[in-house]
Amino acid sequence: MFNIGDKVVYPLHGAGVIEAIEEKAILDEKQSYYIIKMPGEVKVMVPTSKAEDIGVRNIIDQEGALKVIKVLEEESTEMSTNWNKRYRDNMEKMKTGNIYEVADIVRNLSFKQKDKGLSTGEKKMLLNAKQILVSELVLAQDKDKKEVEELVEGKINESYENHLTMLEESTEPLAAGSEDTNIMKKFIPQV
């Protein structure tokens, strides 16, 4: 059960604040609803009896916010090379409402966008996942939206640079004079 003023997350929509609990008659059925004010002046009505079943939860605390930032700093996790399967997998993660899964999606799709680009659907998913992530971090850390967006982008860029450095180190050329290098000289003319 949530109360007025509680900061909550509504999966696939982001974080907001419960402004009111109202009884409404919809299709001649009276029900109690949470009125949640979301970012961008959007208000969402969620039946109180089904809120927890559909994944409405309290926002993370300060410690949870630090863990989210750590997820953004990590190396990307493995994703399917098939964009359709990758999209479905990521959508399933987003539906859970788990902020750590959302952070994983943001990091992974950001890396993919920097490497090869994204399909239109994945670009939209990345935008939505970032909005969800930022909205919760704004409320959890009591920070300005722009400040949180810059923090998220900074952590992703830093992580991506580390990713590139690790790739470069793992693909450094073989030492001159090694057997493999000599084989290469046979096929690649030296200038």
Residues 78 and 110 in one domain: yes
Kindly state whether residue 188 falls inside one of the protein's structural domains: no
Residues 66 and 45 in one domain: no
Kindly state whether residue 177 falls inside one of the protein's structural domains: no
- Per-residue confidence band for 67, with pLDDT thresholds at 50, 70 and 90: very high
> What share of the chain has pLDDT > 90, as a percent?
69
Q: Cα(28)–Cα(144) distance, rounded to whole angstroms?
A: 42
Residues 122 and 71 in one domain: yes
Residues 98 and 154 in one domain: yes
Number of domains composing the chain: 2
- Per-residue confidence band for 3, with pLDDT thresholds at 50, 70 and 90: very high
- Per-residue confidence band for 176, with pLDDT thresholds at 50, 70 and 90: low
What is the per-residue pLDDT across 45-60, written as a single tens digit (0 to 9) for each? 999 999 999 999 999 9
Residues 81 and 136 in one domain: yes
Q: Which pLDDT score, from 0 to 100, does residue 79 have?
A: 87
Find the CATH number of the domain harbouring 131. Answer: 1.20.58.1290
Structural domain for 41, as ranges: 7-58
Mean pLDDT of 151-171: 89
Kindly state whether residue 159 falls inside one of the protein's structural domains: yes
Q: Cα(169)–Cα(165) distance, rounded to whole angstroms?
A: 6
Kindly state whether residue 72 falls inside one of the protein's structural domains: yes
Residues 126 and 138 in one domain: yes
Mean pLDDT of 133-146: 95
Q: Which pLDDT score, from 0 to 100, does residue 172 have?
A: 62
